[in-house]
Amino acid sequence: MGYEKITIYIMVAATVVLISWDVFVAFFNQEPNEKDTISGIMKSAGRECAFLPYGWGVLMGHFWVWVVPEPWIPQPWAALSLVGIGGIVTGAHFFIKKRIGRFVYLPPILYLAIGIILGSGLWPQ
């Protein structure tokens, strides 16, 4: 059995365990779901730190890339660029939240979309 099959089995097992745990906790807990389910914790954390949805977006862009002939910049700089842009996005999120006020809400899906576009352009699979 090659590494490909082992990798697939590990990916399937990890996915099943994570989903099963999330569903179990959602139905058999006494706390609101946003406090102890994986999805609730990720949603809350994504509202506080823009790097989390941005990072997931970068991975999505990396995995399911649009048709791109080659990366926008050479690969050694791609990872640094993605992390740097993530830092800028996160810093801007904190600045907006702190200076402009809580009434301005930038949804995490915005950071996810930015990550998808940049992940597919800078880090295509």
Same domain, 72 and 107: yes
pLDDT over 70 percentage in the chain: 88
**Structural domain boundaries, residue 69:** 49-125
How many domains does one find in the chain? 2
CA distance 111 to 58: 10
Same domain, 60 and 116: yes
Residue 76's identity, in one-letter code, is: P
pLDDT at 31 over 80: no
67 confidence band (pLDDT: 50, 70, 90): low
Same domain, 85 and 64: yes
Same domain, 35 and 64: no
Same domain, 22 and 54: no
Same domain, 14 and 54: no
Q: What is the pLDDT of residues 81-124, one digit of tens each?
A: 999 999 999 998 888 888 776 656 678 889 999 999 898 888 88
Are the C-beta atoms of 93 and 111 separated by less than 8 Å? yes
Same domain, 32 and 69: no
Rounded alpha-carbon distances, angstroms, from residue 19 to 6, 13, 26: 20, 10, 11
- The per-residue b/e assignment along 18-50, b for 16 or more CB within 10 angstroms, e otherwise, is eeeebeebeeeeeeebeeebeebebeeebbebb
Same domain, 113 and 53: yes
- pLDDT value for 105: 67
